[in-house]
Structures are given as C-alpha cells and as structure tokens.
Amino acid sequence: MSLKIDVVRKIYARQGDTPERVLFEGLSLELADGEVCALVGPSGTGKTSLLQMVAGLDEDFTGTIEGRPPDIGYLFQTPRLFPWRTARQNLELVLPGRVERAGELLAEVGLAGSEDVYPQRLSLGMARRVALARALAVEPKLLLLDEPFASLDTATSKGMQDLVSAQLQRSRPTTLLVTHHWHEAAALADRIVVIDGSPARIVENRAVLRPRAAE
C-alpha cells in the first residue's frame, strides 16, 4: 500500500519571541510501496517535522497521512538509545519474543563484540548503527531516516551509507530519507523531492535514473 502525505496546513505556534509560522500549506507527496524517497532542502524548512508527522508523533496539523503501517522504523537525528541499556538490550526491547535476533542484527551492522557496551561508550557512528539496527529490527514497512550520515567523518559516513543501501535493497521498506546532501540522496533514493520556502513547498520532484546493472 502506498503512503499518501497530504498536509493542508501545519502551523508552528508562537513560542516566546518566535512568532507563529506556517510551516506547510498544501503539501502533497505519494510514495509507492518499497520506494526510497529522499527529502532534500535547506535547514528550517520542516523536513524533520514532516517525518514526525508521517510517523504519527506530531498530529497537530490539518491533513491526512494515508497508508501509515503499524511497523515503522525511525532513525532519529540523534541515536536516542536508552543510555541505561547496553547495545544488545536496546535492540531486545523492540524484539519481544525473539531476543536472539539482537546479536545477529548487531553483527549485520558491524558491531559484533560491542553487544554489551553501554551507549555512552559508543562513538556517534557506532551508536547510529545500533539505532539503525533497532529501526530494522522491527522489520518495518515504513522506514524514516533523519539525516543518518550527518556529523560523521567521511569514512564512517561512507560505511554507514553502504550499510543503509544494503539493508534497503534487502528488505525494501518504503523509505523517507531526510538529507542535506544531493550525493547521498542520489546514491540511495529512487526519487528526490526538494522542499524550500516558507511555507515550505515542493520545488522539485524527480526520479533518479540509474544505469542498468550488468546482467
């Protein structure tokens, strides 16, 4: 089932000295089943807010999100691992009844041997891989990735990118990827959507053409 995002109006309420702001007005986007869509745009245009709305974490808007599946994987901008639980325990929490998968998933993201480490002792890159493993652990039908490669050094970012790419090809969830970088979007997505302005609107929506793989 495809994911239909139809935001009639989303307002950021006035907070202190920051005046009320219309974030989105008449923004529509449809993702086909299994499609990877990259959402690109400058900071402050509401990309993360849109992910939150799609995830059902923010319902304070007029409009509809159709086709949101119950199993969602969400890689937040910060890893949001529970610091009082080890890497393995963080995964086990989303795997009730099949905790043995936790170790396998950590191995898949290259963290075999770090299962019993607490998040505070993991580097940002490692913590993000644990968070990615957690997002994939629920076998999501919808995967939301919020700047998964931000603040990583080049090598770590490339490693993480390869990892995400491999996982997307393996399980093909419908994916919404937020990024600032065109090259990341082009490397991973089937389609790139650019949003800009205030209120933000879609200024570009184009498919990514890929060379046909050699038979």
Partner 1 sequence: MRTVDLRSGAGWQGIVSILLFICLWHISALWAGSRLFPGPVSVLSSLLQEIEEGVLPYHLAITLARVALSFVIAMVTGTALGIVLGRFRGLDRWLHPWLIILLNVPAVVIIILTYVWLGLVETALLVAVAANKIPNVAVTLREGARALDKDFAEVAQIYRFRPAVTVREVIIPQLAPYLLAAGRNGLALIWKIVLVVELLGRSNGVGFQLQSYFQLFDVTRIIAYAAAFVLCVLLIELALFAPLERRIERWRR
- Residues lying near partner 1 in the complex (CB under 8 A) are found at 55-57, 70, 72, 74, 76, 78, 80, 82-85, 93-94, 118, 120-121, 134, 138
Smallest separation (angstroms) from partner 1 to the CB of 78: 7
Cβ closest to partner 1, residue 57 vs residue 207: 57
SS (H, E, C) 189-205: CCEEEEEECCCEEEEEE
Q: Give the residue with the Cβ less far from partner 1, 87 or 192.
A: 87
Nearer to partner 1, 93 or 208 (CB): 93
CB 84, min distance to partner 1, A:
4
For partner 1, the closer of residues 167 and 192 by Cβ is: 167
In whole angstroms, the minimum distance from the beta carbon of 136 to partner 1 comes to 12
Nearest to partner 1 of 15, 154 (CB atom): 15
Q: How far is the CB of 8 from partner 1 (least distance, A)?
A: 24
40: helix, strand or coil: strand
**Whole-number Cα distances in Å, 40 to 43, 52, 89:** 9, 16, 34
Query: Of 42 and 83, which CB lies nearer to partner 1 in the complex structure?
Result: 83
What torsion do the CA atoms of 156, 77, 140, 110 make, to the nearest 10 degrees?
A: 20
Determine the Cα–Cα distance for residues 84 and 67; give it in Å rounded to an integer.
35
DSSP state of 19: P
**Nearest Cα residue to 115 out of 101, 98, 135, 125:** 101
Q: Which two tokens stand for residue 95?
A: 């795997």
- 159 φ, ψ (degrees, to nearest 5): -60, -45
Residue 96 tokens read as 């009730």
Distance from C-alpha of 47 to C-alpha of 125, rounded to nearest angstrom: 22
Rounded to a whole number of angstroms, the minimum distance from the CB of residue 202 to partner 1 is: 25
CA 140 to chain centre: 11
Least CB distance from residue 210 to partner 1, whole Å? Answer: 31
